[in-house]
Structure 1
Amino acid sequence: MCVYSSETGIWAFKQLRTPCPLQVYGFNKSLILDGMVYKWDKRVDDDTGPGVLVVYDFYAEKGDDNQCRIIHLPGTYNKYVRRCLTASCGDVIYVEILYQRLKVWKLKSNNSSDGEWWQLTREEIDMLSVGFDVLCFPLGMNPFDTDLIYLWSRQHRCVVSGNLRTQEFTLHREAETWSDGEGSWRINTSDSKKYMEETYEFDTNSVITLSQYVLPQWMDPVPSCPPY
């Protein structure tokens, strides 16, 4: 993995070593949060499971047992499930939609002592009861509000925003480029159609991980990553 430091202005190559063999799904993107790298993968010896979350701590000392952790994802694998890995209010969030049932989990802690890593944030939501009786892809959560979720509707080919607390969901198909009004999310609808439907419609193994990071204004342009 290549990592860029805004302090030194230098790219560095870091080799992530895991405590067990992984299949290395290079297609899946990483989620970066508070100096930790979160990446979905599958164990070599468990091809039928939902996969694992690989957690790498850049600030841990070399040789520290906590530098790289393997955390099993909640639930069981099903070929019809659609999933995403996202972040909200400083927490890692895992979202699953299976048979029109929406579930949202929060990663409890990177140092869980009871072995229970995931916690349901609320009761599951029946998407049929809120007016969506066809398959939706979960895209992510609002970075600043754990009640707000964003989905992709296959039927309408557009973004759906939803409030998990009030269970109100809204289609956004009237605009070519949709924004949530707070600058938290901005999605180009036409580009998303091709990306979402060609990439994830048939690849049920994947866990969607869309970047929520925007370069701060004070940061200089990032140079291209050197070949390695």
Structure 2
Amino acid sequence: MNLPEDIVINILTRLPLQSIVRFKLVCIEWKLLMGSAYFVDLCRNSNWSIIFYGNYKSEDSKLEEVKLDLPHDGHDGTHHHQSYNLLFSSVSSQSKKKVKEIRVVSCADGLVLLRVKEEEDEMVYYVGNPVIAQWIQLPLSSRPPRNAHTYPSHYSDTGLVTRMRNGALLGYKVVRIKNKSWNRSYFWEWSFEVFSSDTGKWRVVQVSCPGHGVGMCNPSNPVSLNGKLHWLESSRVIVHDFFSCDDQVLRVLPLPRRTQSTEWQRCKRICTTSQGYFVIIDVGYVEEVKSYNVRVMRLNTEFWNWEKVWEINMASVGLGFKCLPIAINFFDSNIIYLWDLDHNCFLACNVRTHKKLCGTRKDVTADKEDTFCHESRYSLLQFVPTLQAIHT
């Protein structure tokens, strides 16, 4: 049966990405269609996920993808939970040694950085695409530590950055930060260890700090966007572009000011990405209405200033203090995601149309989500599935 191409695309984009990967083998026409930039963009927009991650130890812990989309034209608003445990089993099979633990370090443009603990406590890194189950083991640092069985302890996991052009992956870098750079003291210079896919090697990069130097309390889980890493601190954001020609200076920006009112006395900040911007979500509790005031600010990198996207009290859309804001949609900044403490499920709410959608109820055996949602300051890793293969 010969169907029009637009109907074929409409059918295929509704399928799980793992099925799409298999269907590329059906015929040359489907392979070319699924490899087109138009088809890839459709898949990305319909398969955005919030990803929770943690240590992977046999069956005690798992990496979960949580998909939740508000209904829109051509989409029925379905949602699901999907475990990536089976996909990560390919990492274990690829390793020549017994894998004791796998930890997700960072996500960027459909790629995932894993830290794998093998037998004898040897640490190695893998970069891969979990959708197509492709993983590449990175070489060890050229500067091995005194203890040959462990990865260099004087550098700590930081993040993963990518270089994209017209939706195509051109390269990536894995970034580690020297431990002394992020203690409570202030330093004029930071030291990074960077692996580049272009060279296949690690190198040490020294980066200057403006003003009187910069210290960092928490180097883990920076937000990756457009080749830059963004670290959220108590009163500022630290940004560095690892693909810039002028890559020797850190940029330090003060966070947008909060108004002096009681609603910001019990508050938290979330940093994430949406519509190609680095975004700060300010969440303040308002006692009078027993709900949260939410303000979304985005960083304009052309002028390096903050722009207000929207501000709303969640009571105006019928959501109280048991619905904790956790993220906004990667493609639409008007859609906010919340965690419902009473029903143990995700909620999606469009603040412009006031449409709401509930996710599938989860059997929560621990306070993982509660603790995560109540943290006063955190960075959220977002995972956008892709069909792109990694260059070797």
**Does 2:239 match 1:40?**
no
Residue 390 of structure 2 aligns to which amino acid in structure 1? Answer: M
Gapped regions of structure 1 (runs ≥ 5): 43-50, 177-188, 222-228
Shift of 1:23: 4.4
3-state SS of paired residue (1:133):
coil
1:140 aligns to what? 327
1:104 aligns to what? 296
Alignment of 1:44-123 (within 5 A): 51-58=235-242, 59-63=244-248, 67-76=249-258, 78-99=264-285, 100-112=292-304, 117-122=305-310
Deviating beyond 6 angstroms after TM superposition, the runs of 4 or more aligned structure 1 residues are none
Q: 2:351 aligns with which of 152, 164, 167?
A: 164
Q: Give, in whole Å, the separation in 1 of the partners of 2:203 and 2:271.
A: 25
TM-score, normalising length: structure 2: 0.42
Q: RMSD in angstroms over aligned alpha carbons? A: 3.0
Distance 1:27 1:195, change over 3 A: farther
1:24 aligns to what? 216
Deviations 1:11-51 (A, max 9, x none): 44445443244441226411111111111124xxxxxxxx1
3-state SS of paired residue (1:121):
strand
Distance 1:62 1:31, change over 3 A: closer
Shift of 1:137: 3.8
Q: Give, in whole Å, the separation in 2 of the partners of 1:22 and 1:213.
A: 32
**Does 2:319 match 1:129?**
no
2:368 aligns to what? 195
Q: Give, in whole Å, the separation in 1 of the partners of 2:279 and 2:371.
A: 24
3-state SS of paired residue (1:128):
helix
- Over the matched positions of the two proteins, sequence identity in percent amounts to 24
Q: Give, in whole Å, the separation in 1 of the partners of 2:324 and 2:268.
A: 6
3-state SS of paired residue (1:119):
strand
Q: Give, in whole Å, the separation in 2 of the partners of 1:89 and 1:40.
A: 19
Q: Give, in whole Å, the separation in 1 of the partners of 2:293 and 2:222.
A: 26
- Kindly indicate whether the alpha-carbon contact (under 8 Å) linking 2:230 and 2:239 is maintained by their aligned counterparts in 1: yes
Residue 299 of structure 2 aligns to which amino acid in structure 1? Answer: L
Distance 1:190 1:13, change over 3 A: farther
- Kindly indicate whether the alpha-carbon contact (under 8 Å) linking 2:327 and 2:338 is maintained by their aligned counterparts in 1: yes
- With 20-29 and 80-89 compared, the bigger mean Cα shift is at 20-29
Q: Which has the higher helix share?
A: 2
Shift of 1:199: 4.3
- Kindly indicate whether the alpha-carbon contact (under 8 Å) linking 1:139 and 1:208 is maintained by their aligned counterparts in 2: no
Distance 1:215 1:24, change over 3 A: farther
- Kindly indicate whether the alpha-carbon contact (under 8 Å) linking 1:97 and 1:136 is maintained by their aligned counterparts in 2: no
Gapped regions of structure 2 (runs ≥ 5): 1-174, 177-193, 286-291
How many positions carry a matched residue from both structures?
A: 189
